[in-house]
Structure formats: C-alpha cells, structure tokens
Amino acid sequence: MSNKISSAPSCADPFDPESISMSEALDKIQQRVLPVHACERLPIRECLDRVNNEAVKSPHNVPPLPNSAMDGFAVAIGSLAQGEVTELEEVGTAFAGNPFNGNCGPGQCVRIMTGALVPEGTDAVIMQEQVEITETGKIRVDSDHRVGENIRLAGEDVVKGEIVIDAGARLSPADIGVLASLGIGQLQVKRKPVVAFFSTGDELVSIGEKLQPGKIYDSNRYSLHCMLSRMAVDVIDLGVVKDEPAAMREVLENASKRADLIISTGGVSVGEADYIKPALADLGTTEFWKIAIKPGRPLTFGQIDASIFMGLPGNPVAVMVTFSQFVVPAIDALAGAKPRRPALFRARALDAMRKKPGRYEFQRGIATLDDKNEWQVAKTGKQGSGILTSMSRANCFIVLPDENDGVEAGDEVQIQFFDWSL
Ligand code: AMP
Ligand code: MG
C-alpha cells in the first residue's frame, strides 16, 4: 500500500490538467461574447469610453483656413531683399477670430497673433523675437526666412472627407476633442452593456452589521462596483447570496433576464458549499471553469440564455486579478470595442519570487524609476490571494508567464501598470 494519499489537482498545484491556458481562455471569451446591437445618439460629452458605431468622416478641413502658429509679422517672402535687411511698414493687425481684411502689398507687413488668419498677400509669419522695430515703428527683418514659415496649413490636422474615428473605436478624451473640432455635437454609439453582480457566501455580512465569529465583511462587491464604475457599463448590484442551491438558481435566473453579463464571486471551487457550477449546469452552459493562473484559477465562464456568466473566485485578490485579465476583455467584446492588450513594461526585480512552471502568476508590485530612469519593482509583501492590502499597496502586477520557474533579485520581469488616464 502506498504511504501517500493521491490527490486531485488543487489550488496548491502549479499544473492542473483541467485548467486551460490564459490565451485559450481569452480566445474563448472573444469567440463567445457577442457585441450588443442597440445604439443611441448622444451629446459627445456623454460619449467618453463608449464605442463608436459608424466611422466618422470629417465634414471639413481642420484648420479650415491657413493661420499663424506664432505671434509675429505676416510678410510676403518675395518682398524681402536677398541677403539684406528689409524695412517693412506695418499696415494692420490680425487677431485670432478677427482677421485683417485689408491688403498687404510690397514693402508692407501685418502684425499677427497665434491662430489669426494669414492675410491676403502674405506667405510667412516671422516670429516677433526675430524682428527689430525702429523708433519710427518700421519692422526690420532679414532674408533668412522661407515661404510657409510658422503657418499652419488648411487641413493639416484633418482633411475634409478623411475618417477621423473608426467604427468600433472606444472614444477617448482626445476623440471627443476631435469631434468638437469638427463641430460634431452628437454621435451614434453602442448602448452600454448591463452588468449584474453578486457575492456568495454564508460568512459574508454587510458593513454596519456586527461581526459574529466566523463572519467577514463582504469586500468583493465594493471592489467590483468600483472597477465596473470605471467602465462604460450600467451596473446592477444584486447583493449577497446565501450558499444555497435554490438561492443561487434564483439570483442567476433573475440576473439573466436583466443583464448582458452576470458576475458572481465565490462558490466556484470544489468545497461542499460551492453551488455556482451546478447552478450554471442547470440553467445554462459552461465553457470552462479553470484557468492556469494564480491567483484566480477557479473561474467559471459560460452562458445563461443570452447572458454571459463569469463566476469569479471568492478570494478578494483573485477577484481583482481575474476582473482585470478576463472581465475587462469580456466587457470590451460586449461593448463592441476592438480588443486591447494591456501594456507590459520591463523592470528589474528587487525581490526574489518563488514560482513553478505551469501557470501564469500575477504578483502585486510597486514599480519605481531607478536613478538611470529604468523601472524597478518590489513585491508588496505577502502575496496570498486573500491579502487585499497587497493590491491596495501595489501600482502594478508583476506578470510571470507559464514557463517562468522563479525570479532572483536583479532578474528582468514584466510589469503591468494598474491605471491609465488618457
Ligand atoms: P469561496 O470561493 O467561496 O470558497 O471563497 C474563497 C475565500 O474568499 C473564502 O475565504 C471566502 O471567505 C472569501 N470570500 C468570498 N467572498 C468574499 C467576499 N465577497 N468578500 C471577502 N471575502 C470573500
Ligand atoms: Mg464561499
């Protein structure tokens, strides 16, 4: 008889034959999740982070007409004497929004401000720092200037008829600015996906309630709410659901009537109170239920009627890791947006990290620039998937791919920063 107990693969094992790889999981999400169809027309200010439905063509040139890029003097290069200083007569001033309407002939120039239309008869703007003004008010310029100098050409930003924003683009602050520069006040965008979420667990109590022995406060619903708030989705918070099969079924049925995406946390491992998988098997279909990552291996992905279901693990760090890696792409796909890949940067590890090959790991790191302006990264201390302060102290994930078999201090690793603003 063997003196060892043979065990099924668990969270403690680096390799689990039932787990699918990170990239397979992302592929399946991409295949399964269909974009919402409905669109709405909105004022552009409300279109931030929404998905553009039809390519936008520019109705005119930006800028519409040639204008000055500097404060200075508009001149005709042809009227400057080669190799000499020419004295010009100032015949007026062109302001941004108030053009000079007269004529600028030979021997003359026009005082011009940034953004003002370039007057008839001139073809260059000489910076005010490069001229001399005589006591009698004449403008002295040398011949070291060229046609087009300091002039922004009509259409140099956008040419009339050009596509400025593709269909499927997620609208950024700059895109909204570009639309405004074209005078476009409204845009047709895809409707927001509706995301319903709930926590599971008999141990969970809400803030304000007394903590009896064995109970903990529900934090997942708060971090989830906040992560979802940063995306262009409508959220439905379905609260805490008891570890009872009937309760799970009820909440899932209800959610599937109201949401494009249903997210639960907890109850997806193989404990005796883990009822999510059987409930999904009853009500819908399961595409996969384990991914070779740490933390966050038990992640159930499937469908209930037309709704996508993602059963995230219960541990608070695993919730945030799986949200960033899998829920964000699922929401992007639902929204009809082009997939985006998180940017990875190279950094020097300041700490050793133990790891066995076989799964992707997302350790929590604090990245800083060293004195050579290169990224270095330290761990945020204990890395257990229940240690939520490891997330709140971090500014990045330290991403260790499947094949990585541990890191020594000084090794190069990849990091993924948490947030973005533009
Ligand atoms: P489970 O996957 O349900 O077995 O949960 C795994 C671990 O995460 C357990 O220690 C749970 O107590 C904890 N947990 C589950 N849900 C939450 C939650 N909403 N907030 C905080 N901790 C949770
Ligand atoms: Mg549980």
Q: Assess if residue 159 is contained within a domain.
A: no
Joined tokens for residue 331: 């929401």
Q: Please state the rounded mean pLDDT for residues 132-146.
A: 97
Inter-helix orientation angle 328-335/22-32, to 10° = 20
My answer on whether 145 and 203 are in the same domain is no
Read off φ and ψ for residue 92, nearest 5 degrees. 165, -175
Task: Judge whether 160 lies within some domain.
Answer: no
Per-residue confidence band for 182, with pLDDT thresholds at 50, 70 and 90? very high
Which atom of ligand 1 is closest in space to residue 274's alpha carbon? Answer: 3
Residue showing tokens 């890029």 = 69
Based on the fold, state whether residues 259 and 376 are members of the same structural domain: no
Q: Give the CATH number of the domain where residue 367 resides.
A: 2.40.340.10
pLDDT tens sequence across 46-62: 999 999 999 999 999 99
For the Cβ of 201 lying below 6 angstroms from any atom of ligand 1, the answer is yes
The arithmetic mean of pLDDT across residues 83-89, rounded, is: 97
Can you give the residue range of the structural domain that contains 47?
A: 43-61+166-190
Over pLDDT 70: what percentage of the chain?
A: 97
Atom of ligand 1 nearest to the CA of 219: 20
Nearest Cα neighbor of 41 from 178, 190, 146 is 190
271 pLDDT exceeds 70? yes
> Number of C-alpha atoms within 13 angstroms, CB side, residue 283?
26
Whether 14 is in a domain gets the answer no
Mutate to test the pocket of ligand 1, among 220, 315, 385 (most ligand atoms within 8 A of CB): 315
Domain with residue 174: its CATH number is: 3.90.105.10
Given 96, 128, 152, the domain boundary residue is 152
CA–CA distances in Å: residue 64 to residues 59, 112, 152, 236: 10, 18, 10, 46
User: CA 35 from chain center: how many Å?
Assistant: 18
Is residue 175 located within the same domain as residue 143? Answer: no
- State pTM to two decimals: 0.90
Residue 16 lies in a domain: no
- Decide if pLDDT at 9 tops 70: no
Domain identity same for 31 and 56: no
Q: How many A from CA of 163 to the centre of ligand 1? A: 48
CA 318–ligand 1 middle distance (angstroms): 10
Q: How many domains does the chain have?
A: 4
| Backbone angles phi and psi of 128, in degrees to 5 | -65, -25
Q: Are residues 365 and 302 located together in one domain of the fold?
A: no
The whole-number pLDDT of residue 17 equals 82
In a domain, residue 143? The reply is yes
Q: Are 364 and 398 in contact (CB under 8 A)?
A: yes
Question: Are residue 186 and residue 198 in the same domain, yes or no?
Answer: no
Say yes or no: 314 and 199 in one domain. yes
Output the CA 315–ligand 1 centroid distance in Å: 5
For 337-355, what is the mean pLDDT?
A: 94
**CB 211, CB 205: distance < 8 Å:** yes
Q: In this structure, are 352 and 328 located in the same domain?
A: no
Same domain, 178 and 237: no
**Confidence at 1, pLDDT banded by 50, 70, 90:** low
Can you tell me which residue has the tokens 């699922």?
330
Task: Read off the pLDDT band of 422 (50, 70, 90).
Answer: confident
Each residue's pLDDT tens digit, 244-266: 999 999 999 999 999 999 999 99
Phi first, then psi, for residue 238 (nearest 5°) are -95, 10
136 and 111 within one domain: yes
Q: What is the DSSP letter of 326?
A: I
Residue that terminates a domain, selected from 152, 175, 200: 152
Distance between CA atoms of residues 324 and 332, nearest Å: 12
- For residue 344, CA distances in Å to 169, 321, 401, 418 come to 22, 15, 12, 11
Cβ atoms within 10 A of the Cβ of 406, count? Answer: 12
Does 314 lie in the same domain as 279?
yes
Higher per-residue pLDDT: 269 or 308: 308
Boundary of a domain, candidates 304, 335, 366: 335
